[in-house]
Amino acid sequence: MSDFRKEFIAFCIDCGVLRFGQFKTKAGRMSPYFFNAGLFNDGAMLGRLGEFYAKAILAAEAPFDMLFGPAYKGIPLAAGIAIALARAGRNVPYSFNRKEAKDHGEGGRTIGATLAGRVLIVDDVISAGTSVRESVELIRAEGATPCGVAIALDRLERGAGERSAVQEVREQLGLPVIAIADLDDLLQYLGARPELAPQLLEIENYRQLYGADAHA
């Protein structure tokens, strides 16, 4: 596991963004862990989060020209990641969408830089892929090219079928997905800490029931 992945998981646990217990998912499953990116809710946390995204994006060496953050969670993410990338020597423009198109003033469906070239979509997680699909449609409608998606955590969990939502995005939309960390990284992190052995066992059991094949 890359150092930044390990640091990211520790950061999420310390911030209370990654929690252990019993949580009901949208699919009605009882999950032994929960990731709530909405709890990255102050300047220091958002700044650090942007740095982790930037490290993952740069490590992936994926070509892109700008960032796009789908409303609402993608808006602060796009801004934070753009700042972190600039500090790392990679200054790129960013844009985000309105929930409803504006018909006065500057008008339009997006705010920020004009969508152009290869656009990397940034979001917290991919649950059903709806936000990504809507973003792809908007980007293409503006004459730009969606080139990938960057997310914080890939749960490697099956959706309605055998594939995970991330795998479906890769297969159906033909887009690479960059995750700062995934379930494998989380299990490796927990396995190195004896005090977290109960959480490790519960998550391993959950994965046996609902996990998708990461290499499928």
CATH number of the domain where residue 71 is located? 3.40.50.2020
The verdict on residue 216 lying in a domain is no
Q: Is the pLDDT of residue 43 over 60?
A: yes
Amino acid at 176: P
Tally the domains of the chain: 1
Q: Is the dihedral of CA 150, 179, 43, 88 positive or negative?
A: negative
The verdict on residue 42 lying in a domain is yes
pLDDT in tens, 98-131: 877 655 555 578 999 999 999 999 999 998 788 9
Which domain, by its residues, includes 199? 3-210
pLDDT in tens, 124-162: 999 878 899 999 999 999 999 999 999 999 999 998 788
Residue 204: other Cβ atoms inside 10 A: 15
Q: For residue 62, give both structure tokens.
A: 């994926």
Span 165-170, average pLDDT: 92
The verdict on residue 28 lying in a domain is yes
Span 193-212, average pLDDT: 96
145-154, strands of its sheet edge to edge? 108-112, 94-102, 66-69, 118-122, 145-154, 177-182
Tell me the whole-structure pTM to 2 decimals. Answer: 0.93
Distance CA 41, CA 31 (A): 23
What is the pLDDT, as a whole number, of residue 216? 54
What is the pLDDT, as a whole number, of residue 130? 87
Distance CA 130, CA 40 (A): 22
The verdict on residue 7 lying in a domain is yes
Sole residue written with tokens 């989380």? 186
Q: Is the pLDDT of residue 172 over 70?
A: yes
What is the pLDDT, as a whole number, of residue 189? 97
Span 193-205, average pLDDT: 96
The verdict on residue 215 lying in a domain is no
Direct distance between the N- and C-terminal alpha carbons of the chain, in angstroms, rounded to an integer: 20
Residues shown for the chain = 216
Catalytic residues: 102, 104
pLDDT in tens, 14-33: 999 999 999 998 888 999 99
Span 55-78, average pLDDT: 96
Q: Which helix (H) or strand (E) holds 53?
A: helix 43-60
